[in-house]
Amino acid sequence: MKAFGPFLIVAIWLVSCAFASTFNPLQHSGPASPYFDAPPEEGISESTPDGCVVDQAAYIVRHGSRYPEPGSFSGWQSLYQKIQNATFTAKGPLNFIPTWHPPVDDVPHEPLFLSSTGALESFELGVQLRKKYGLTSGGSNFTVWAAGQQRVVDTASYFIKGYLSQGNYLTAPDENRAFVVTMPDSVNYTFADSLTSSNGCPNYSGGNNGTNQSNAFRATYQTKIAKRLNAYLNGLTLVETDVGVMQDLCGFQAEVNGDTRFCDLFEKSEWLDYEYAHDLNYYYGSGPGNPFSATVGYGWLKAVTDLLVAGPNATTANATFTPPPLIMSFTHDNNLPPIVSALGLWNTSHTAGVYPLPATRIPRAPFAFSASRLVSFRGYVALERLSCAAPLADTVKHTAGQRVALPGTAAGAQKYVRVRINNAVVPVPGCASGPGSSCPLAAFEQYVNGPRAAAAGDFVKVCGLQGVANATGAVDFFTQVPSTNAQSSVFQLPVN
């Protein structure tokens, strides 16, 4: 473990206090959290280090905020009917309950699909990354990849609209255009060559689904919450399942119509319990607690690592397509934890009793596995390739007609990789010696092809697919467009 100096320890403490003093339930609502930037880990600045530029990056992104899925919506409807069918009085923090109704006004067209907030989150990400990296020159066309469900395709489309929103290209119909590579969503016949690869691994769902652990933990707190809230009701009795629905409604209503009254019902400790139940669900269901998680996440990681090693705009062997320097993938919440598992993140700790996550208590350790900071709406895992040299001197001479090159852009610059989860930099275990706790590119390549490949194993064998025709553990859809193995297709999205 690194030895931190007193000034860094104080800085971490101040950051922790700042976040603690502004507790926001919407940042502790697991997969119902609208997007937020995660707080920094180990005091690492989110800024690109001095002397460095990002010359290539790859993102895998959950779709933006949405209306509930039909199963969750039925829970909302049941709660509403329970309230409407009762004669009761409500006081104090529950006095709004008689006025409440589910925030869905077009049942055939809203549940399951993006909300306006989801569209805005996606558009904003496009604008942010265009400004942040400057990897695409004006007028250039741009390609992204998306799993095929409509909310994912819509997220990719709104991202593109933000990313290509600069300038005016109405008179240049071949410029500033976007292409979305879509592939079958949640199918078992494209195996690892997919943005929903867990569905192609028969053993994955039996590895652990997280339900037992999360339900066991919910049993430790939901009854207490129901008892506390029932003190404000006369003629209506809330039960444990009602508590779960009401906590879900905090995040969903906030992003659908801005109503945060359910957020105000619960105490900080109750939100931390609610959050940890989601941590358990994702950790054991699709994250490091599932022994097949790294296997299904490794294909994307390996394909992206190969592209980072080759460098921006480089042509790789057998490629029919060269991806842009910014490689954007869009998928679902359960497809992000396997990437964390493949990277070997959030599954080791110098604090005893943290991993595997216990189902009876919340481990008091910083930077533990966090569903809210990973699978929030529009949550993401990103790998940035840094190109670094000595920072600019205090005094820089300029010669007329000769622009001074930014440090990191000249030949001979050193290359590094940084991982971001919802913007926070997360160090690669045992490889954080570079600027901004980055990992030297060559060391990162060795890490992915060595210990992480060993941890993942062979997709076909680990998933029990021996003898299955066309079964593959390789991802080719970034460099084969369209890809026969991934059964991908391409559509053009006019922006201007």
How do residues 99-113 score in pLDDT, each as one tens digit?
999 999 999 999 999
Among 74-88, 352-366, 463-477, the range scoring the smallest mean pLDDT is 352-366
User: What's the pLDDT score for residue 207?
Assistant: 72
User: What's the pLDDT score for residue 367?
Assistant: 65
- The band of 206, judged by pLDDT with boundaries at 50, 70 and 90, is confident
Q: Which CATH superfamily is domain 28-65+114-203+291-350+368-391+407-496 in?
A: Phosphoglycerate mutase-like (3.40.50.1240)
Tokens 């992480």, residue located = 452
Helix or strand (DSSP H, E) at 76:
helix 70-84
Give the closest residue to 94 by CA, choosing from 262, 255, 289. Answer: 262
How do residues 259-317 score in pLDDT, each as one tens digit?
999 999 999 999 999 999 999 999 999 999 999 999 999 999 999 999 999 999 987 88
Listed in sequence order, the residues at least 6 apart from 219 whose beta carbon sits closer than 8 Å to its beta carbon are 240
Listed in sequence order, the residues at least 6 apart from 325 whose beta carbon sits closer than 8 Å to its beta carbon are 55, 56, 57, 133, 135, 136, 312, 313
Ramachandran area for residue 251 (φ above 0: left; ψ -120 to 50: alpha; else beta): alpha
User: What's the pLDDT score for residue 352?
Assistant: 83
Residue 2, pLDDT above cutoff 50: no
Residue 16, pLDDT above cutoff 60: no
Active site residue 333: yes
> Can you give the residue ranges of every domain in the chain?
28-65+114-203+291-350+368-391+407-496, 67-112+209-288
- The band of 368, judged by pLDDT with boundaries at 50, 70 and 90, is confident
Q: Which two tokens stand for residue 422?
A: 């919802």
E-assigned strand segments in 46-177: 52-62, 89-90, 142-147
Angle formed by the axes of helices 116-133 and 240-257, to 10°? 60
- Beta strands 489-493 and 439-440 are unpaired
Q: Which of 55, 154, 242, 333 is catalytic?
A: 333
Share of the chain above pLDDT 90, in %: 88
CA dihedral 193, 194, 197, 202 (to 10 degrees): -60
Active site residue 63: yes
Listed in sequence order, the residues at least 6 apart from 409 whose beta carbon sits closer than 8 Å to its beta carbon are 53, 55, 387
Mean pLDDT of the chain: 93
- The band of 22, judged by pLDDT with boundaries at 50, 70 and 90, is confident
Q: Which of 28, 55, 63, 278 is catalytic?
A: 63
How do residues 452-489 score in pLDDT, each as one tens digit?
999 999 999 999 999 999 999 999 999 999 999 999 99
Residue 20, pLDDT above cutoff 50: no
User: What's the pLDDT score for residue 473?
Assistant: 97
Quick one: DSSP state of residue 194? S
Q: What is the mean pLDDT of residues 244-251?
A: 98
- The band of 21, judged by pLDDT with boundaries at 50, 70 and 90, is low
